[in-house]
A and B are shown apart, each in its own frame.
Chain A
């Protein structure tokens, strides 16, 4: 079932080097770490479901450099993302924003869990509970019988 992925990977990756190149890495490790974090959440627009951090398409490289440029210029993580969304649209974010048009997407897990729990609870309630455990008298009677057997 991976043929499509394989095929696409073959088309997209070509034979190039993998993702971040040594010459792209920023000197400041803190800034570089932030760049990697941001990159892994941005989509390589010409690839199939790959982040720009994983892809080595030319566009991904350009975007990686752009992210680093903005970080060096002093942008916050959020500002960098905002900048890219303005230029490329929301498609560039691998984690969609929580807005009206993605309401169903984000709420589905919660809704399914809640409705499922309510449904299961209601189904259990509708049915009679299984016969209850022994009451005190029965327990005493049972203990007596067991004791008699043990001493016999």
Chain B
């Protein structure tokens, strides 16, 4: 009964979304406040309906209601509760339901921030948002209905794909979807501005937190997915340039560019047309990502035929929204007035360069991901585009961008002084160079990439901190003055520096992978294997039985230079219901590096194949991403992004934000 109610609520949400689409749009044209006010009310109602629908599916999962086809296919009564819940979005239908839930959630947040958004802009934005909701609700209801019943109901379910029974993957999709869908708000605002033919710095100020929030979540989502691949897929890689990964990297690159161009627009009222275009492109790439992953086109061009309805439907959504918004852009963008003049050498100029490189990097990933499919469809020729291609095309675009980053951050708005900025950075650059040279001399003949990359990362970290230091420290000031000034800096300044330092940390982590070493061997209990300075001794192989799987556990003692560091467990796991084996890597964290062991086959003579890696500083790859997201979050709490909130009456220069 609850399941039918959930199904009905979803259909109701579709009807309400239609109202949310038509009425506010009409109201904004007629300038009728009553009609415009329908937008926020329906947005909240849509959220309530979809949330109820989502909860009723969750209830079916938690109670293992095997009369629902979706539950049968993806759950099992012995599965731990957390995976019963995460199983809701661990499949196609449920994950699309999560997608629309987040969409509705964001729509109603826009609806509820009544005082801070001009009424017409809000009405148009909610209408565009409703159009997206309609498209995806139709998609769920017609091709991917999670509420289908099955008669007669089987006694037991088929279990969730074992690879998805992992805490990392339980939270990975929600994080990623919040990122993807968050960009829909920037998109809706961009379309609303185009419909109205009006755009200014206020628009940028309203949109920026949305972009920033979506970007922070997408960053976390991608990092989470990467770490999951690292420990679960068992060969210690953390990025594979797989099309599925590229599908999430493209909106991230475009979103990063959007974040920076919105800053220019907010501060200096410039780059308006470009920012609008970027907002449209970023969400289009999110849609493309959804299409690539959800339609099955990635597996092979032929699997499209397995379920043509879904693939064609999303392709239709893609064409309508991307084509429609670009047509709207072409029609209305010439109406937008240009403002904000600036010299080529200035913060704005540096951000233009940033956008140029990020957009090119995004285009590179785009062509690398889609070219093989297009070529095969057009000529039938099959080619592969993998990591080696991206290494020679993507890296040369990113390295100059990163080298220029601290410089751009130091330049003044409107008219900057290149030499002055370089002068302020020479300490940071000198220290980073010194570190790189010292590492080069020290390792003597090892990989060159690692010291150079670490130097670059250090330059980013020090250059970001330099910004805070130069803004708060001057010769002869007491420490308490410096502290007062530093803590008085706007939080967005801190956020920027922290996020950029996070980029530096990730770069260091990536560069250090060049120092990784591996050992490979067939071991019997008591024998040991070396990877660099680390040694693993296989203690014993023991079986273990859990609720829904069986493990063969290898217990290993890890030591360095004869000193024992502890034991780690690595296992081969068999999920009973699906009869599917997985490998659980054994990982021991030593400082910021990790010792990583994974098991191969157990041989008839009782020996087992073992791969042992030592990966120095590898944790920095993901920690850096978390720091980036934290910088974004800190920036979100900046005073000026909370317009509409009553301002504290606190005198003094610390509270004032320069109007510029």
Interface residues of A (CB under 8 A from B): 1-10, 13-23, 25, 40-41, 43, 48-51, 54, 89-96, 101-102, 104-106, 108-109, 112-113, 116-117, 120, 124, 127-130, 133
Contact = CB atoms under 8 A, between A and B. Distances in A.
Contacts of A18: 234-235, 583, 598, 600, 611
Nearest to B180: A1
A89 B343 CA distance: 52
Given A51-B386, A120-B352, A6 B161 contact: yes
Contacts of B247: 1
B520 A25 contact: yes
Most buried by A among B228, B385, B386: B386
Interface stretch (B125-133, B238-246, B420-428, B534-542): B238-246
B384 A93 contact: yes
Contacts of A8: 299
- Of the four ranges (under 10, 10 to 19, 20 to 34, 35 or more), the interface on chain B belongs to 35 or more
B339 to A, nearest CB: 10
9 contacts: A18-B583, A40-B387, A48-B242, A91-B384, A94-B384, A95-B388, A101-B379, A109-B360, A124-B352
Given A21-B609, A109-B364, A117-B356, A127 B164 contact: no
Contact of A105 (B163, B164, B385): B385
A133 B581 contact: no
B583 A15 contact: yes
A80 to B, nearest CB: 15
Interface string B410-449: 0000110000000000000000000000000000000000
B582 A6 contact: no
Contacts of B307: none
B381 interface: yes
A14 B388 contact: no
A107 B94 CA distance: 40
Interface in B610-633: 611
B15 interface: no
Most buried by A among B248, B342, B384, B393: B384
Contacts of B367: 104-105, 108-109
A81 B571 CA distance: 36
Nearest to B392: A95
Contact of A109 (B243, B344, B397): B397
B308 interface: no
Contacts of A133: 415
Interface string B339-370: 00111100001001000110110011001100
A5 B242 contact: yes
Contacts of A117: 356
B235 A19 contact: yes
Contacts of B375: 101-102
Nearest to B247: A1
A113 B397 contact: yes
B237 interface: yes
Contacts of A9: 163, 233
B113 interface: no
Contact of B293 (A3, A10, A101): A3
A58 to B, nearest CB: 13
Nearest to B396: A109
Given A22-B521, A90-B382, 6 more contacts: A4-B296, A8-B299, A15-B582, A49-B241, A54-B235, A94-B385
B522 A22 contact: yes
A18 B459 CA distance: 37
B164 A130 contact: no
Contacts of B499: none
A7 B161 CA distance: 7
A50 B609 CA distance: 21
B581 A15 contact: yes
B255 interface: no
Contacts of A102: 371, 375, 383
Contacts of A104: 367, 371
Given A20-B520, A109-B393, A117-B356, A15 B572 contact: yes
Contact of B228 (A2, A16, A105, A120): A2
B574 interface: yes
B44 interface: no
B157 interface: no
A41 B598 CA distance: 23
Nearest to A92: B384
Most buried by B among A15, A92, A127: A15
A41 B91 CA distance: 33
Contacts of B290: 1
A10 B165 CA distance: 12
B360 A112 contact: yes
Contact of B173 (A1, A50, A91): A1
B586 interface: no
A129 B611 contact: no
B225 A1 contact: yes
Interface string B219-253: 00000010011000111010011111101100000
Contacts of A113: 356-357, 360, 397
Nearest to B609: A17
Contacts of A49: 240-243, 384, 386
Contact of A130 (B242, B341, B363): B341
B184 to A, nearest CB: 16
